[in-house]
Amino acid sequence: MKAINPTLPRQSRGIERQVTGIATSDGAGVKLTRVLTGKLQQRLDPFLMLDAFGSDDPDDYIAGFPDHPHRGFETITYMLAGRMRHRDSAGNEGLLENGGVQWMTAGRGVIHSEIPEQEDGVMEGFQLWLNLPSQRKMIEPWYRDIASAEIPEYLTTDGVAVRVIAGDSNGVGGAVSRELTEPLYLDIHLPAGATFSTALPVTHNAFIYVYRGAVNVGDTKVGVQRMGILNNAPDADGVTLGAEEDARLILIAGKPLNEDIVQYGPFVMNTQEQIHDAINDFRSGRLA
Ligand code: MN
């Protein structure tokens, strides 16, 4: 694999603000940190939620997420470590494990379960919710399991390792691409002393989440378990990150939909009426 020399942006975005996640639990009592909460849905449009989970205590994750519905958006689960079995109402089943991604488009509706397939050891990863544009909220559901080996990776001349889950970075295309929201999802590992740059369209909302070490964006240090929202400076065409210590982070960006967001738990639509429809469809067995 030939090392890539990343293109330097003319101007890097900076950190607009940092966010500390909120410890919570979901499903049947899975402990997690909600990093992107409802309050940030407008600012980080088209992203609706980011949960970070990570524990070596099985009591924190073992019960998993039994059968539950979704409608109106996509869920992207990235498993750094651990094994999770998913089953859905369309009869699909898959195993998500170390370094793999499940990309699930709920569309008009799925009912699925996400249950750990391990009794001990570390389970660590992320679940990101990506909104669907209004005209696609009721499409047929779809999903893809992407094994770790299928995720494109590249190495930079500075020794930075980048996994391209979605979008395009320094000419390397990711495992998934999406029209309209154009998501970029990178997992970046910077060795101590390295810098890294990638282009970001000026229209996109973007953020980083550091899960090991710390990174610098301009003069701002973003520490471990912190989200840094990247500003939308009109002249900034990318971002440059630096690390004084070994660091790992995810970088996520997408094109805002600028549509009304109405969320009720696992349903995300554009109007209250559509939410009522989703609840009625679920209760009467018509959702999936
Ligand atoms: Mn789910």
CA of 249 from ligand 1 middle (Å) equals: 23
Distances (CA, A) of 250 to 194, 206, 210, 227, 269: 16, 11, 7, 9, 27
Ligand 1 centre and the CA of 225: distance in Å?
Answer: 23
Q: What is the CA radius of gyration of the chain?
A: 18
Is residue 188 within 8 Å of 241, Cβ to Cβ? yes
Q: Which of 2, 47, 1, 53 is nearest to 27 (CA)?
A: 53
Q: Which residues of 72-108 are buried (b: 16+ CB within 10 A; e: fewer)?
A: bbbbbbbbbebbbbbebeeebebebbebbbbbbbbbb
pLDDT at 263: 98
| Amino acid occupying residue 51 | D
Nearest C-alpha neighbor of 242 from the set 20, 26, 14: 14
**Ligand 1: distance of its center to the CA of 67 in Å?**
8
CB 176 within 8 A of CB 146: yes
CA of 195 to the centre of ligand 1 (A): 35
Ligand 1 mean position, distance from CA 114 (Å): 7
How much distance in Å is there from the Cα of 268 to the middle of ligand 1? 13
Taking the centre of ligand 1 as the mean of its atom positions, its distance from the CA of residue 143, in whole angstroms, is 12
Q: Is the previous residue joined to 183 through a cis bond, with omega within 30 degrees of 0? A: no
Would you state the pLDDT for residue 288?
86
Query: How many Å lie between the centroid of ligand 1 and the Cα of residue 211?
Result: 22
Measure the CA–CA gap between 69 and 254, rounded to whole angstroms: 25
Distance 68 CA to ligand 1 centre (A): 6
For each of the chain's 288 residues, which pLDDT tens digit applies?
789 999 999 999 999 999 999 999 999 999 999 999 999 999 999 999 999 999 999 999 999 999 999 999 999 999 999 999 999 998 899 999 999 999 999 999 999 999 999 888 999 999 999 999 999 999 999 999 999 999 999 999 999 999 999 999 999 999 999 999 999 999 999 999 999 999 999 999 999 999 999 999 999 999 999 999 999 999 999 999 999 999 999 999 999 999 999 999 999 999 999 999 999 999 999 998
Rounded Cα gap, residues 114 and 179, in angstroms: 27
Going from the Cα of 126 to the center of ligand 1, the distance in angstroms, rounded, reads 12
Distance 113 CA to ligand 1 centre (A): 7
State the CB neighbour count (10 A cutoff) for residue 262.
16
What's the gap in Å between 230 CA and the centre of ligand 1?
Answer: 27
For residue 171, the CA-to-ligand 1 centroid distance in Å is 32
pLDDT number for residue 18:
98
Distance 69 CA to ligand 1 centre (A): 7
Tokens of 74: 């996509």
Q: How far is the CA of 49 from the centre of ligand 1 (A)?
A: 12
Quick one: fold of 15-283? Jelly Rolls (2.60.120)
pLDDT for the residue numbered 2: 84
pTM of the model: 0.97
Task: Give the chain's largest Cα–Cα span.
Answer: 57
- What separation in Å is there between the alpha carbon of 285 and the centre of ligand 1? 17
Sheet holding 220-222, edge to edge: 195-199, 238-242, 215-217, 220-222
User: 77 CA to middle of ligand 1, Å?
Assistant: 9
Instruction: Give the pLDDT of residue 232.
Output: 96
Ligand 1 center–CA 75 separation, angstroms = 7
Q: Residue 28, SS3?
A: coil
